[in-house]
């Protein structure tokens, strides 16, 4: 079957099997490999992307179901060479180690802050509770999202200076 | 909240961050953009997909396999069975413990989900479809699931493939002095005994295991992109096993989505991918799904430890002994140094000054997946620390003594280091009491005990758990330690380019620990070249020196030492070049991080960058000196390093449901010299979450037929942000005396130290019920059963 999806602002049309999962559509057909796959049961959340403005687990969505919708992935967070505050927050507060769960965490964090610019620690923990990280123990992810919340209003962010002291 | 010993501002005022200190990670810019390069991200032209058919039974004879329907699938390229591999002599492969494991089963299957056949197809969905078309006829055999029955006279024989094998025994391991220990027990005032079970758990990294094999049909060179923590060790093993010439094998470990020991062994899937690419002549990808990862790859623990502790009435611990029954699954796939079949379990004497200790261990086969050393265990130190820290708490219960006070009374004193334990381990350095005091201060220990007393009056269940642990990491000295005959040393190569930028090549491989940052910092600390000017190359056997890889917290103790020493070699050469440039003798120069200056005349100096250009440039160098500025080293550690820590956990238990809530967790770690405190804190946090998971949620269980009950993340529960508290970390610094920069390693400390702290807290909360011990995982139902007095061991 043919499916047309707006992915990261671009309309794409592909011939697909009806059973194709959105995560595999993004990764294998569009080479958007920032979205990861980590379990068979929609528990881990490494595959979180947005469908329209909603975070969804893309292993639980058929590519066909995304037809006619807007899908946003981690590759779209950086705009015009400027990192999204959640991306910068994860760098500044060491919110990632292996980086495998990170794209999903970033997409959830962005969605949370769009709805709730000043979340409490518990609200942040609840927002990411459908996702698993094996490396960080979550505290630094929480701090990263708090960093982003505090820096959302910054007019222009300094470019990331990873590899330098802070 | 983070408590640090000394203000960081002092560092910032100097030339920091060159060298050690908080430094943002070099890895992050690609990973936060979704531009990492993980194994499953690799797509090569013409690449095919491999899927593995697995056994539905735990123990069964293979009567026949009909693959004709699968072969007829229009998108299937090949279907391979064990018989096909046997024809090439590839049906079996050696494990890292000198056992053999079936790549694909030929005679019978020995655990549920064992590899039976594989399909190669044009896409991953078709490969999976075709698995359904393979018809295997199995003849059921009684399985050995209960490890306690593995050595029964009538137990089914699992390993009839091994010549002369008549039972399910693998090895007996003894350490310490049995007679001396028994004598000490005989004179003790108090003896406390518990059967302590450390259930089977799984590292479950977020990225599952997989590989892309690409054989060049003209040169015959194999490139294997692979989720491996030990690329060089893998290369050599493939060379030895498959007879491929070692120079025709290139292992590339790209970005790895967590390892925790799960990505140390060589799995049948990797071998299948290689065989498929060799046979078909195209690149072949194999990626596990989550179930395959949980049910077939390296599990961890599975020890039953019958443990006794002897003490005086005043709480002086005299001796510990333990009889361990170790379940290794169907093949002995443990990754451990050859002379250490039980890994480093010998450190079960803990952090205490004992008169005697003894361990007797029997390891057996069962019809379960192989593995044993994984999940950040530092070669079985998780089990050792859990064993001693649990039995010490049982002693505190029996003596009605505060558990922190009991530990304080028995800790090894600073002037006893280096300390040789009763099982022969030489702890390099330690200052234990300040670490425990610090953890107690951070926790507000006395206040917590007061709060607990008040709550007990009201019938509320609050527990405070203490753990003090000593690790042994950085395997290891080559006189004692090897894996399959390969010494556990690590190489490092450093090149300074003409413009003063540098590239350092490592034999170890990060799975998220931040090597690209911390190793740049080590080189920066030693050479004065800023970390941003240093490129760290790793994870590619064609471009890095040989070494045994990253596991057992060995990267910093072994490879980190190699990095520091290779940098010192380069600086030594730079000094000779500088003496020529400044026209003074070598002895008249002094090193200030990044430059050599003439003693007494600091205006006459040359930077490392000036020297690099001179080393590669025109004009003469001091006599006898080659051009260039580079060096290579292979570092053989003198001893292991012994990080330690004091952990305190506070829990609240719902008396109606048995649900445990971890309210606070205080962790004070001492990993010697700190390279990057931010990364250290992250490593600790991750391990603490592991501990909460193992103590309260995680277990790979089986039913009586050997069906794995933990085969998905719905059944194998991993903590989320809601089950974990905001960690409170602190540190002390006791450098290792034999490590060039005094660093000890931190990657696994928290995974080792946190499970006993959580369990001790839960048992402490349950004290009003007269409970002295209960086994992990302390799920609500297990806690509730313990409260009712109906708990049974988890195995």
Give me the CATH number covering residue A123.
Answer: 1.10.150.120
Option in A40, A99, A164 nearest B24 (CB): A164
Residues A11 and A68 in one domain: yes
Q: What would the two tokens of residue B510 be?
A: 């990060």
Q: Å from B686 to nearest chain A CA?
A: 4
Residues A72 and A9 in one domain: yes
Parts of chain B with a pLDDT under 70: 1-17, 795
Q: Which of A76, A96, A118 is the last residue of a domain?
A: A76
Is A56 near chain B, with CB under 8 Å?
A: no
Interchain contact, B33 vs A73, CB within 8 Å = no
Look at residue A157 in the predicted model and tell me its pLDDT.
Answer: 44
Q: Is residue A46 part of a domain?
A: yes
Q: Å from B259 to nearest chain A CA?
A: 9
Q: Chain A partners of B258 at a C-beta cutoff of 8 Å?
A: 97-98, 100, 134-135
Interface test with A, best of B206, B287, B550 (most A CBs within 10 A): B206
Report how far residue B574's alpha carbon sits from residue B621's, in angstroms, rounded to the nearest whole number.
Answer: 11
Report how far residue B140's alpha carbon sits from residue B182's, in angstroms, rounded to the nearest whole number.
Answer: 45
Residues A6 and A72 in one domain: yes
Residues A18 and A68 in one domain: yes
Entry pTM: 0.96
Report how far residue B386's alpha carbon sits from residue B465's, in angstroms, rounded to the nearest whole number.
Answer: 12
Q: List phi, psi (to 5°) of A40.
A: -100, 0
Q: Å from A68 to nearest chain B CA?
A: 24
ipTM of the prediction: 0.96
Indicate whether A6 pLDDT > 70.
yes
Interchain contact, A100 vs B205, CB within 8 Å = yes
CB atoms near residue B66 (< 10 Å): 13
Q: Is residue A162 part of a domain?
A: no
Q: List phi, psi (to 5°) of B197.
A: -105, 130
Interchain contact, A131 vs B720, CB within 8 Å = yes
CA distances from B418 to B352, B428, B558, B643 (A): 13, 5, 19, 13
For B302-331, b where at least 16 C-beta lie within 10 A, e where not — what string? bbbbbbbbbbeeebbbbbbbbebbbbbbbb
Interchain contact, A99 vs B681, CB within 8 Å = no
Look at residue A164 in the predicted model and tell me its pLDDT.
Answer: 61
- Tell me the three state secondary structure of residue B613: helix
Q: Is residue A149 part of a domain?
A: yes
Residues A30 and A53 in one domain: yes
Look at residue B235 in the predicted model and tell me its pLDDT.
Answer: 97
How big is the A-B interface in CB pairs under 8 Å?
A: 205
- Chain A residues 92-121 with CB within 8 Å of chain B: 92, 94, 96-103, 106, 121
CATH code for the domain in which residue A58 is found = 3.10.20.30
Interchain contact, B682 vs A28, CB within 8 Å = no
Q: Is residue A166 part of a domain?
A: no
Q: Is residue A165 part of a domain?
A: no
Look at residue B17 in the predicted model and tell me its pLDDT.
Answer: 60
Interchain contact, B31 vs A35, CB within 8 Å = no
Interchain contact, B206 vs A141, CB within 8 Å = no
Q: How many folded domains does chain A comprise?
A: 2
Q: Chain B partners of A33 at a C-beta cutoff of 8 Å?
A: 34, 38, 40-41
Q: What would the two tokens of residue B73 be?
A: 């699938």
Look at residue B7 in the predicted model and tell me its pLDDT.
Answer: 36
The partner residues of B23 in beta bridges, in order of sequence, read A165
CA dihedral B751, B753, B756, B759 (to 10 degrees): -60
Residues A6 and A63 in one domain: yes
Place of tokens 């998905």: B712
Residues A114 and A59 in one domain: no
DSSP secondary structure string for all residues of B40-61: GG---TT-EEEEEEE-SSSSEE
Q: Is residue A62 part of a domain?
A: yes
Residues A92 and A151 in one domain: yes
Instruction: Return the beta strands (E) in chain A as ranges.
Output: 2-7, 10-15, 48-51, 54-57, 70-72
Residues A94 and A127 in one domain: yes
Look at residue B791 in the predicted model and tell me its pLDDT.
Answer: 78
Q: What would the two tokens of residue B465 be?
A: 């758990």
Expressed as residue numbers, the domain containing A15 is 2-76
Residues A72 and A90 in one domain: no
Residue B87 exposed, middle or buried by CB count within 10 Å (0-12, 13-18, 19+)? exposed
For a pLDDT cut of 70, what percent of chain A falls above it? 92
Is A46 near chain B, with CB under 8 Å?
A: yes
For a pLDDT cut of 90, what percent of chain A falls above it? 90
Q: Which of A25, A41, A76 is the last residue of a domain?
A: A76
Residues A98 and A146 in one domain: yes
Place of tokens 């890292």: B96
Indicate whether A165 pLDDT > 70.
no
pLDDT band at A162 (very low <50, low <70, confident <90, very high): low
pLDDT band at A161 (very low <50, low <70, confident <90, very high): low
The residue-averaged pLDDT of A81-107 equals 98
Q: Which of A25, A58, A76 is the last residue of a domain?
A: A76
Look at residue B2 in the predicted model and tell me its pLDDT.
Answer: 38
Among the listed residues A132, A165, A108, A130, the one whose alpha carbon sits nearest the alpha carbon of residue A144: A108
Q: Is residue A160 part of a domain?
A: no
Look at residue B335 in the predicted model and tell me its pLDDT.
Answer: 86
Report how far residue B502's alpha carbon sits from residue B251's, in angstroms, rounded to the nearest whole number.
Answer: 24
Residues A57 and A39 in one domain: yes
Report how far residue B782's alpha carbon sits from residue B193's, in angstroms, rounded to the nearest whole number.
Answer: 21
Option in A96, A141, A164 nearest B32 (CB): A96
Q: Is residue A119 part of a domain?
A: yes
């Amino acid at each position: 079957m043919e499916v047309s999806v707006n992915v990261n602002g671009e309309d794409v049309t592909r011939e697909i099997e009806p059973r194709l999962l959105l995560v595999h559509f993004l990764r294998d057909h569009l080479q958007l490999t920032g979205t990861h796959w980590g379990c068979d049961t929609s528990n881990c959340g490494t595959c979180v992307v947005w469908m329209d403005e909603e975070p969804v687990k893309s292993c639980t969505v058929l590519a066909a179901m995304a037809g006619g919708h807007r899908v946003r992935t981690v590759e779209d967070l950086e705009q015009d060479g400027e990192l999204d505050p959640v991306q910068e927050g994860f760098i500044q507060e060491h919110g990632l180690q292996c980086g495998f769960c990170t794209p999903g965490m970033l997409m959830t964090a962005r969605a949370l802050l769009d709805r709730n610019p000043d979340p409490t620690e518990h609200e942040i923990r609840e927002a990411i509770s459908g996702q698993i990280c094996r490396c960080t123990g979550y505290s630094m992810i929480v701090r990263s999202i708090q960093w982003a919340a505090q820096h959302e209003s910054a007019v222009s962010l300094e470019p990331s200076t990873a590899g330098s002291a802070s | 909240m983070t408590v640090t010993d000394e203000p960081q501002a002092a560092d910032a005022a100097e030339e920091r961050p060159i060298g050690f200190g908080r430094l943002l990670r070099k890895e992050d810019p690609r990973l936060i953009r979704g531009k990492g390069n993980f194994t499953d991200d690799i797509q090569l032209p013409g690449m095919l997909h491999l899927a593995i058919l697995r056994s539905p039974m735990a123990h069964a004879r293979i009567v026949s396999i009909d693959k004709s329907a699968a072969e007829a699938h229009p998108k299937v390229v090949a279907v391979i069975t064990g018989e096909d591999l046997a024809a090439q002599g590839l049906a079996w492969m050696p494990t890292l413990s000198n056992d053999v494991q079936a790549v694909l089963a030929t005679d019978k299957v020995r655990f549920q989900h064992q590899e039976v056949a594989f399909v190669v197809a044009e896409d991953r969905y078709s490969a999976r479809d075709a698995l359904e078309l393979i018809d295997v006829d199995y003849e059921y055999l009684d399985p050995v699931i209960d490890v306690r029955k593995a050595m029964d006279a009538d137990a089914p024989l699992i390993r009839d493939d091994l010549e002369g094998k008549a039972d399910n025994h693998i090895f007996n391991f003894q350490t310490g002095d049995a007679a001396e220990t028994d004598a000490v027990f005989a004179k003790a005032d108090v003896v406390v005994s518990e059967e302590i079970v450390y259930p089977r758990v799984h590292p479950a990294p977020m990225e599952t295991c997989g590989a892309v094999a690409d054989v060049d049909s003209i040169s015959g060179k194999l490139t294997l992109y692979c989720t491996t923590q030990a690329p060089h060790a893998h290369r050599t093993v493939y060379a030895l096993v498959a007879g491929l010439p070692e120079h025709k094998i290139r292992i590339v470990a790209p970005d790895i989505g967590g390892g925790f020991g799960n990505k140390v062994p060589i799995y049948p899937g990797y071998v299948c991918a290689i065989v498929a690419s060799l046979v078909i002549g195209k690149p072949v990808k194999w990626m596990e799904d989550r179930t395959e990862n949980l049910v077939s790859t390296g599990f961890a623990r599975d020890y039953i430890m019958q443990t006794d502790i002897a003490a005086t009435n005043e709480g002086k611990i005299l001796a510990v002994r333990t009889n361990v029954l170790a379940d290794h699954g169907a093949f002995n796939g443990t990754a451990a140094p050859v002379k250490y079949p039980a890994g480093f379990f010998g450190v079960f004497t803990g952090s205490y000054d004992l008169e005697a200790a003894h361990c007797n261990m029997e390891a057996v086969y069962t019809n379960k997946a192989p593995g044993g050393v994984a999940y950040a265990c530092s070669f079985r130190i998780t089990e050792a620390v859990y064993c001693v820290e649990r039995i010490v708490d049982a002693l505190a219960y029996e003596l009605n003594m505060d558990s922190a006070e009991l530990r304080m009374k028995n800790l090894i004193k600073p002037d006893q280091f280096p300390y040789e334990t009763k099982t022969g381990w030489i702890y390099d350095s330690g200052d234990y009491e300040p670490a425990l005091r610090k953890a107690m201060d951070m926790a507000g220990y006395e206040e917590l005990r007061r709060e607990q007393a008040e709550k007990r009056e009201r019938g509320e269940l609050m527990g405070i758990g203490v753990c003090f642990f000593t690790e042994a990491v950085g395997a290891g000295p080559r006189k004692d330690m090897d894996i399959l005959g390969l010494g556990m040393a690590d190489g490092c190569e450093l090149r300074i380019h003409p413009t003063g930028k540098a590239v350092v090549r490592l034999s170890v491989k990060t799975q998220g620990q931040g090597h690209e940052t911390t190793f740049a910092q080590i080189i920066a600390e030693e050479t004065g070249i800023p970390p941003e000017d240093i490129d760290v190359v790793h994870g590619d056997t064609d471009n890095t020196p040989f070494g045994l890889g990253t596991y057992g917290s060995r990267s910093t103790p072994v490879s980190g030492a190699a990095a520091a020493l290779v940098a010192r070699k380069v600086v030594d050469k730079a000094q000779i070049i500088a003496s020529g440039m400044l026209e003074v003798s070598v002895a008249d120069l002094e090193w200030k991080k990044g430059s050599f200056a003439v003693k007494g005349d600091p205006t006459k100096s040359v930077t490392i960058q000036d020297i690099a250009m001179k080393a590669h440039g025109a004009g003469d160098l001091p006599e006898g000196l080659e051009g260039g500025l580079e060096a290579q080293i292979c570092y053989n550690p003198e001893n292991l390093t012994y990080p330690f820590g004091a952990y305190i956990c506070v829990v609240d238990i719902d008396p109606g449901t048995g649900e445990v809530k971890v309210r606070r967790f205080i962790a004070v770690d001492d990993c010697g010299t700190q390279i990057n405190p931010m990364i250290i804190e992250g490593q600790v946090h991750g391990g603490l979450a592991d501990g909460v998971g193992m103590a309260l949620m995680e277990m790979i269980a089986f039913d009586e037929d050997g069906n794995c009950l933990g085969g998905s993340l719905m059944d194998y529960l991993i903590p989320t942000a809601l089950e974990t508290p905001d960690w409170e970390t602190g540190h002390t610094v006791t450098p290792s005396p034999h490590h060039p920069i005094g660093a000890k390693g931190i990657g696994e400390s928290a995974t080792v130290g946190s499970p006993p702290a959580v369990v001790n807290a839960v048992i402490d909360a349950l004290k009003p019920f007269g409970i002295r011990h209960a086994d992990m995982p302390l799920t609500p139902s297990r806690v509730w059963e313990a409260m009712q007095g109906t708990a049974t061991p988890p195995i």
